[in-house]
Structure 1
């Protein structure tokens, strides 16, 4: 039976890099949600570590891609709202200080990206990829305090729990606790995320609509998988027909 582990951020990836058969990155506000929206539109997403806009523009030009703006009021950007009308077949280079950085840190291990919008679909694809006896490492990204240290983020913990609950299998203690937190949140999940530190920050900056999109629970049937440096949809019709053991 598949084994499921859960550890935070880059240290979690490093801890499981030699043992995991699949990684699932969870950065709900907003990288993972933005990836799911873009893939819903028929686009592909190239993760890019957060840096200056000029470097992103140069990288996008070299790849035949469109660089997302660091300014969330522009389109396209890291704001999921800005991607609702993204043209099909767009190659979107998406700078992100957390989700992109983690996506690029997993080396050759198969890597997926999950949000609350596509937890079921991504879990099914990850389970298929790992095989019956594989190890799946679910990595909540978290945020950063002003001194650069990790700030565990409620929305990523609950998003990881949603994926873990859908995966089934044998969880380690951390994975079990994350899945239990997601189940216990139940109908309060939306209020919890809206009033979390990250949720309040987004609302105060005028991006409450991004929270609405992030909370479209399992509205997407995309399973973003990183192949050759870009996320594309790896969902198959048969995936969701098979229940987690």
Structure 2
């Protein structure tokens, strides 16, 4: 059966969705998606760039007249914006940024050729679901929600380095639960996980492996911020190389 709503994991799942020509929603709560949503809420323009963050990435930023978004540790040395969503604010309107990350930016680049790629998280779960549904009506395409997950830093040869993250799974479920159409078993279970957990979602995410890593580095404020449901109505969409607010006209 060709389900209308699917769930996939990571860059490989993104490639599968891209090959099907699906509408794709990238979900990386901690914190690529949350940071892009926040930046676009403040009318910044984001150029996602696949890892690593190296001289090539910096050269790309120069071609786009853009500033680099650093990892949290690098931002302490270099100054400027970081992958923390709290580093963006009202002063970023109409400014260009290149954002490189191990998960969300990688998945976004893996699906860069598809007709419609949206960025979702808890902060805009309802808005991104509504936007995706409108694109279904316009394009007559199915939807795949991508839970980006994390990567094991010490995976041995031949080991899969994807580390599923419950923060992405629950946010994907929050989005899927609002989508209309036949759901794959994976999507149905994901939506069910959200419905079961929604009354305690902040506590679960704060105690997740990904959140603990941030909290141990002093970024608890980021975790609290990213756990907010439907804070914004903005929906970032990838237009060729950059993300800005989706035009649903």
TM-score (norm: length of structure 1): 0.90
Task: Tell me the SS of whatever aligns to 1:226.
Answer: strand
Pairing of 1:84-95 with structure 2 (within 5 A):
84-95=89-100
TM-score (norm: length of structure 2): 0.89
Q: 1:54 offset after TM fit, Å?
A: 3.0
Paired residues of 1:122 and 1:235 also in contact (CA < 8 A): no
Paired residues of 2:85 and 2:222 also in contact (CA < 8 A): yes
Match of 2:41 in 1: 40
Which 5+ residue runs of structure 2 have no aligned equivalent? none
1:73-128 Cα deviation digits (max 9, x unpaired): 44311111111354211111111111111111114211111010001111111111
> In structure 2, do the counterparts of structure 1 residues 59 and 107 end up closer, same or farther at CA, with 3 Å as the change threshold?
closer
Paired residues of 1:117 and 1:219 also in contact (CA < 8 A): yes
Pairing of 1:189-208 with structure 2 (within 5 A):
189-208=201-220
Matched, 1:150 2:179: no
Matched, 1:127 2:139: no
> In structure 2, do the counterparts of structure 1 residues 20 and 184 end up closer, same or farther at CA, with 3 Å as the change threshold?
farther
Q: Which runs of 4+ in 1 moved over 4 A?
A: none
Which 5+ residue runs of structure 1 have no aligned equivalent? 239-245
Pairing of 1:1-245 with structure 2 (within 5 A):
3-70=4-71, 71-73=74-76, 74-109=79-114, 110-131=116-137, 133-145=140-152, 146-147=154-155, 149-234=161-246, 236=248
Alignment length, in residue pairs? 237
Paired residues of 2:26 and 2:147 also in contact (CA < 8 A): yes
Paired residues of 1:75 and 1:83 also in contact (CA < 8 A): no
The CA RMSD over aligned residues, in Å, is 1.9
Instruction: Judging by fraction of residues, say which structure has more helix.
Output: 2
Paired residues of 2:129 and 2:178 also in contact (CA < 8 A): yes
